[in-house]
Amino acid sequence: MHHKFSDFADEDGPLQGKKKRIDDILNLEILVLNFKISKSRFPEKCENYVTIQFECKDEKYIIFTGSRVLTEQLEKYKGKLPFLTKIVKRDKYYTFS
């Protein structure tokens, strides 16, 4: 008998959804579904970036950001996923509101 990879693998694939720019969803209510933190290809700008999967108007989307604030908030509240929120820009950074 052969094992099926999907029966034992615990790797997450890429997050699914249409790509959006973060500025396109500012101040809109979204449902954050999942996120994935990855190493940046541009470490001089930021060490990590986060892919955020969310739903808006019954469609799934993803955004990519190097925002340290959003990354820290996602890590801190990952046990609360999924959650409704808005991404707002305060001075020079993005945050959940």
Give 7: exposed, middle or buried? Use CB within 10 Å, 0-12, 13-18, 19+: exposed
Confidence (pLDDT) at 65: 93
Note whether residue 1 is domain-resident. no
* Total count of domains within the chain: 1
Question: Is there a domain that residue 65 lies in?
Answer: yes
For residue 12, the model assigns a pLDDT of: 63
> Tokens representing 88?
């707002």
The answer to whether the CB of 85 falls within 8 A of the CB of 26 is no
Summarize pLDDT for 13-71 with one digit per residue, the tens.
Answer: 688 999 999 999 999 999 999 999 998 776 666 688 999 999 999 999 999 999 999 99
Q: Of 23, 97, 28, nearest to 59 (Cα)? A: 28
Q: Is the whole-model pTM more than 0.85?
A: no
pLDDT score for 93: 94
**Residue that is written with structure tokens 């996120």 in the block:** 35
Residue 6 lies in a domain: no
- Which strand ranges, in their side-by-side order, compose the sheet holding 18-19? 18-19, 59-65, 48-56, 29-39, 83-90, 93-96
Q: Which domain holds residue 32?
A: 12-96
